[in-house]
Structure 1
Amino acid sequence: MKVDPQQLIDDGYIVLRQVVPPDQLEELRTSFETLVEKQRVVWERERKPGEKPGGVWTTSGQPRVFLDEVVDAATANTVEFCLHENTLGVSQQLMRAPHAAITLMALMCNPVQDHGPASWHRDIDPTGQAPLKGMQMDYVKNGPGYVQWNIPLYDDSVFWLVPKSYCRPNTPEEHQHLLTRPQEPMPGGIPIELSAGDGVVYSHMGLHWGSNYSTQLRRTVHLGYRAFGGDSYPIVDHFYWNLEFTQHLPTEARTRFEHFFQLHQQQSAVIEATFHAIRNKDADGFQDGLAKLHPGEEERMVAIVFLSKLADKVRTLKDPKVKKLSVEERIGAISAHRLNFHLYEDFADRFSAEAAESIWQRFSTLYEKIEAEIARSVPDRTSRVMRYQLTDMPANFEVKDFIQNW
């Protein structure tokens, strides 16, 4: 399947027909339903005291099954589909990268009771990642380092989006809509009408909406892919899986995931060397590492902001008090997800507490500038909508200024 990467840059999304080969649709439906049934058993077992029978399955507005947690040899075709030329192959074309890897494999399901519409949102947090316009301009100038998919196994028009919204901040009208009518259709928003097996690949930075979480049967494959070797450092640079699950896969598929993990380890080694260069005030070593992580010469400061967030996570994980916390508490301490936390903890093991603190101090001026911008533009950091208001990168602060402030 051939696609035009420029269409994604122009519109922020592309609708593709028959992403699921028609001769595979019924078999995939059967396998995915098996995964749902296996996950329901887990949710029933894990339900909390006082929670309804069924646990998450009966309480969530959008029960979500992570493939890697329930797949087995009999249902391995679900994961193999995520490696297909129509999914992984198309993603690599769109990111114009020498390598692409799966970050996320999930299945979104309908609830057992009507939950109505969700709220309009962007799948980003500028205060925890980088200022919005920085991420957007990086995407436009250097191409996407990450793409996201919805692929329904049954006809689906739940997903709406605002075309081209991925590359600009919210308008004043959109901001007010998000604050006052977040569950209503937004001016400029359109439904993405997909037949069974079709797909929409899109920028997760754009405004989008789950318009109606009703009891109508919904089984929509939700995927994420990241680039390795593309011109930008991916906004989503981690995996929501670990290699252990691949024991259930055929050799060819298992080898693909081992390759993905190897690419991640190679990137981690580059970041480690880059962090040590920062600590040692080695400007040449730092710029060499930065160029490997973000080959595109424009918007490299965005990658530095991403690195600052990672340095903060490493510093936090090396804190003796944090190390004594439970896994769940450590996950919360760095705002990670239970499925990617192991990668952060493994990376933190590369550094001593002293080194982690020293590296973090090199980012202090950048941190202070971003905090000042947050204080100016975000009146309520607890509000997801308000956090979108962090739009501007620090003014008059480029790579050379970052180096000079060590």
Structure 2
Amino acid sequence: MSNLEIAELLRNISACYQLKDPIKYKFQIIAYDRAATAVEHSTSELKDLWDDGKLDDVPGIGPSIASHLDEVFKKGKSKHFEELMKGIPKEAFKLMELPKIGIKTAIKFIDEKNKSEINDLLKMVDISRKNKRHLLPYAQMIASEVTEWILKCSEVERVDSLGSLRRMAATVGDIDISVASKNSSKVIDQFVKFPKVQEIIEKGDHTASILIPGNIQVDLMVIKPSSYGSLLQHFTGSKFHNIALREYAQTLGFSLSEYGVKKVSSKDNKILEFETEEKLYNLLKLDYIEPELRENMGELEASESHSLPKLMELKDIKGDLQIHSNFDIETSHDLGLSSMEDIAIKAIKLNYEYIAFTEHSPSKSNHTEKEVVEILKRKRENVDQLNYSFNNNCNNRNF
């Protein structure tokens, strides 16, 4: 199950408790909603964390919920979850994704409306789902286009993505962007003129929102450079990281906001401003925490003890062991677009030490065993020739 599917399941369980007794099961409702949010915004797949025995480490997932999810991952279902959802139409859970429709209203719709009307509502949900969240690479592409457009304004001093996009979460909702500038009005004017704008949702002095194709909302916040670090930290999140950071700051006598840091004991309410996140974290006696780590999974403690892990960068990648070239191996599918030589040249530019060509084997349905062997020999000879050629001109490149 994907994180989005797990989050949906947890929200459905919360709805079941609401249906049973919202007062009696108040804490269960809060717990499952919180767990769903944590899963939805996690930068790691929950199944991978479960495989590593780290399910209990996810903030927002307590022992009880973890035990039920453990059963889901082992058996594909949870007895407890099935008992709670028993008797509730599956369509009711789906209808809950529509605005202002809770579980009781959804069930009422199913009881009172005809099948055609219900199907129309379910189609609306399907459309909503398609536009709800976006895969990270797609969100990055959109943000890059908007950022390039914003940077055409000479008043921009710095621009960054925010939220789950900056934290490199697997999926992203709205695209949030921040800008450091002394002239917010010019930046806002540039932003709302983005060529792909379909609708200007809001345009203010320091914020604006636009709608672009695909029903994708892009939000912009502009703040003066002297306060930019605080805004960037606050709106990068995650929610759980920020809560933990605020609580930690309070132990040092500080109060945090998107505008800066205030000493709790100060009588003049003066706000300390920060141009960069690094300076903010350093004030709190913490090492800078990379956005990808901000999930309240021990990063504050590691930062305080100067033991944060070093994140892998592109330059750390030494090779690629899964590449398909366009070498005519006569496979039935998934042939690459580039030649082996072009790929090898690109690998050298990336400073790779090795690559592996892993095209699918020749189609057995169209070749005899002898023909398959001959084709693979030709591929081997081609690779040997590449290795010979590049090893004479480069240092120990292996393909």
Do the structures match in fold with TM over 0.5? Answer: no
Q: Which has the higher contact order (CA 8 A, sep 6+)?
A: 1
TM-score (norm 2): 0.23
Larger Rg: 2
TM-score (norm 1): 0.23
